[in-house]
Amino acid sequence: MVCAYIELDKSTGANLIGVSSSTDSGFTWTHNPLTQHFEADTTVGDIFGAADPVVAAAYNKNPLDPQNPTGRFYLVYLESSFTPQPSADARILLVSSDDGGVTWTAPTVVEASVGFADEHHWVDKPWIAVDIHDDFTDFTYPEQPVYVTYSSFNDAQTGAALGSFGWECDLPGPVTSGDTWPIMLEGSTDGGANFDMTPGADPMAGFEVTDVSDPARRANRGSAVSVGPYGSIYVAYMQGGCAGTTAPVPNEIRLSAIRVDALAKFTGPVRTTVGTFGHFPRLEDYCSPAATQPWTFHGYLVGESTGRDPIDPCTWDLFRVNNFPSIVASYHRPSGPPPIPFGWEWIHVTWADWQGDYSASPAPDGHADIKYSRGTVLSVSPPEINWSSPRTVNGDSTPGHDQFFPFVTEHQQSTGDTTVRIFYYDRRKDTENEQISVFMAGSTDGGSTWTHEEEVRCLGLCPNDVGFQADFFIGDYIGAASSLTASGVDFSRVVWADSRNATGVRPDNNDEIWTALSTDP
């Protein structure tokens, strides 16, 4: 097992990527930081640090190969320079390991934005998936295909600074035709060695999975990608309108389904709506009077109910949250004839949904729940997906208790059924709705019913203590993975940032990465 996370170098103030690996199902771990990848690179600018690491595993096609007995791990992350604005640079980089995460290759550039002030372009929030099922498709590569998605912010404003750019979606006035925020897809068929960044030069380069031609749908972020058993690429993301639109569309969780043809070209995409969501309160919602901005990518929750800053009336003791979806595709063989060859294909999507009164005084009044929807694939070419009605999977519906940052995993049982687990942060055990526990909701029938919910780890994460770079960061995700033990027991590992042993006051504290094992349901 391999886990990646942000590791703050307090001597320089730079973010690094920390990596830990385990060979015993996560009971013991070895720390292997990627410090060799963070020297300054003059072709990109002064590198400030790294963020948003995501890991994916590729199974070894030849288990007897002594050069690669454990398969390959891929790690994608964002490397960026935030100063001086607006001359910010960013690169999405990919490294791989063939020895279980102990050593890593030199990075491959997936995509880059150089000199934002000149190009008005910024890349952010990568995600990665590997097609481990490529034997089912019509083509076979020496290496299993690797797919990376990311947000691409293209701003028509001249000299715009990052503080008023893309991810806050707060451009004043009418919509500018050149302002678009698509989700992009890149592919590699040589083990991640090459991602051609010139559209048209590579059939898998720079493929847009969203549709930004409609000004009301130009804002997209928080993509997550998964590959189905029959080679379909599924990309989930959040989409909504922006300030300046006359009639913003509802905030939606969307999914794009893409196929790869026999010539290794992306085809599609077919886009569908999975569900809607209420966005988390914005910074402006904690001000008086309330701001009128209709939509933002990030929201904020109160970390401590009495934590308002007496100097700035708009600044509470807040921490940043989001509505980003989590996705995983699964294979299921039910009784009776399947609608497509070999069996069924399911897509599991989960997200946080906040509902409440944004104008309540002195702070917004509401809470967040965990939503889930399952897509049943009726046809893979062209993709046809039937979505179930979104449902709440957390058993606590008490107003004022937040659940957020969900992450979904799946694993097929020997019976043919699919175990689905959703891990998330939960504040129900604290009557003040401040401290956070880690909970898990589970289903043993592929998401049809959710009969099990348990606390994975008791209260220990306090958002007032966790933070880096700035006071309001507690991370943007938690992570989890499912597999089988050597004895055949289905289990999941979840990882999160924990502050129970933290010292000092954020951001000058020492939070830790914790993990827990779950074998239920």
* pLDDT higher than threshold 70 for residue 429: yes
Average pLDDT over residues 346-358: 91
Would the pLDDT of 75 be above 90? yes
Question: Buried b / exposed e across 263-298, counting CB within 10 Å, b at 16+?
Answer: eeebebbbbbebbebbbbbbbbbbbeebbebbbbbb
Q: Following CA atoms 267, 477, 294, 269 in sequence, which dihedral angle do they give, to the nearest 10 degrees?
A: 10
Confidence at 328, pLDDT banded by 50, 70, 90: very high
Task: Read off the pLDDT of residues 207-218 as tens digits, 9 standing for 90 and up.
Answer: 889 887 776 677
- Confidence at 285, pLDDT banded by 50, 70, 90: confident
Q: Which of 330, 425, 322 is nearest to 374 (CA)?
A: 330
| Structure-block tokens of residue 125 | 């929030």
End-to-end Cα separation, the chain, in angstroms: 21
Across the chain, what does the average pLDDT equal? 76
Binning pLDDT at 50, 70 and 90, where does residue 47 land?
very low
Q: Given this model, what pLDDT does residue 197 score?
A: 42
Q: Six-digit token pair at 171?
A: 């451009």
Residue 83 is predicted with a pLDDT of 52
* CA–CA distances in Å: residue 127 to residues 59, 123, 187, 189, 192: 18, 12, 12, 17, 14
pLDDT number for residue 13: 66
CA distance linking residue 479 with residue 493, whole number of Å:
8
Please work out, in degrees rounded to the nearest 5, the angle formed at the alpha carbon of residue 101 by the alpha carbons of 98 and 107. Answer: 75
Confidence band (pLDDT; 50, 70, 90) for 170? very low
Kindly tell me the sign of the dihedral angle through the C-alpha atoms of 273, 423, 53, 234: negative
As a whole-number percent, the residues of the chain with pLDDT over 70 amount to 68
Q: Please, are residues 152 and 186 in contact by the beta-carbon 8 Å criterion?
A: no
Q: What is the pLDDT, as a whole number, of residue 19?
A: 92
Band the pLDDT of 334: cuts 50, 70, 90: low
Give residue-wise pLDDT tens across range 314-325: 667 778 898 999
Indicate whether 271 pLDDT > 60.
yes
Predicted pLDDT at 155: 66
Predicted confidence band of residue 33 (pLDDT cuts 50, 70, 90): confident
pLDDT at 486: 66
Question: Which range, of 65-79, 347-361, 401-415, 456-470, averages the lowest pLDDT?
Answer: 456-470
In 10 A of CB 338, how many CB atoms? 13
Looking at residue 138, its pLDDT comes to 44
Percent of the chain with pLDDT strictly greater than 90:
25
Pairwise CA distance, residues 190 & 281, whole Å: 43
Instruction: Specify the pLDDT at position 115.
Output: 57
What does the pLDDT read at residue 60? 59
Choose the weakest-confidence range: 94-98, 187-191, 281-285, 389-393: 281-285
Q: In the predicted model, what is the mean pLDDT of residues 255-261? A: 87
- Confidence at residue 191, expressed as pLDDT on a 0 to 100 scale: 83
Compute the average pLDDT of residues 359-388. Answer: 87
Comparing C-alpha atoms, which of 331, 399, 408, 401 is closest to residue 373?
408
Residue 127's pLDDT is 97
pLDDT at 333: 67
Q: Please give the average per-residue pLDDT across 322-350, as a whole number.
A: 79
pLDDT score for 463: 66
Report whether pLDDT(295) > 50.
no
Please tell me the distance from the alpha carbon of residue 259 to that of residue 385, in angstroms, as a whole number. Answer: 14
- Which of 488, 520, 324 is CA-nearest to residue 421? 520
- What digits encode the pLDDT tens for the residues 94-128? 999 988 888 888 888 898 876 554 456 778 899 99
DSSP element (H, E) containing 208: strand 207-208
Candidate from 36-50, 173-187, 354-368, 383-397 with smallest mean pLDDT:
36-50
Is residue 387 pLDDT above 90, yes or no?
A: yes
Statement: residue 43 has pLDDT above 80: no
- pLDDT at position 439 is 93
Rank 360-369, 437-446, 462-471, 477-486 by mean pLDDT and report only the highest.
Answer: 437-446
Residue 29 has pLDDT above 80, yes or no: yes
Question: Which of the residue ranges 244-253, 259-268, 367-376, 436-445 would you say has the lowest mean pLDDT?
Answer: 244-253
Per-residue pLDDT at 30: 92
β-pair type (479-484, 266-276): unpaired
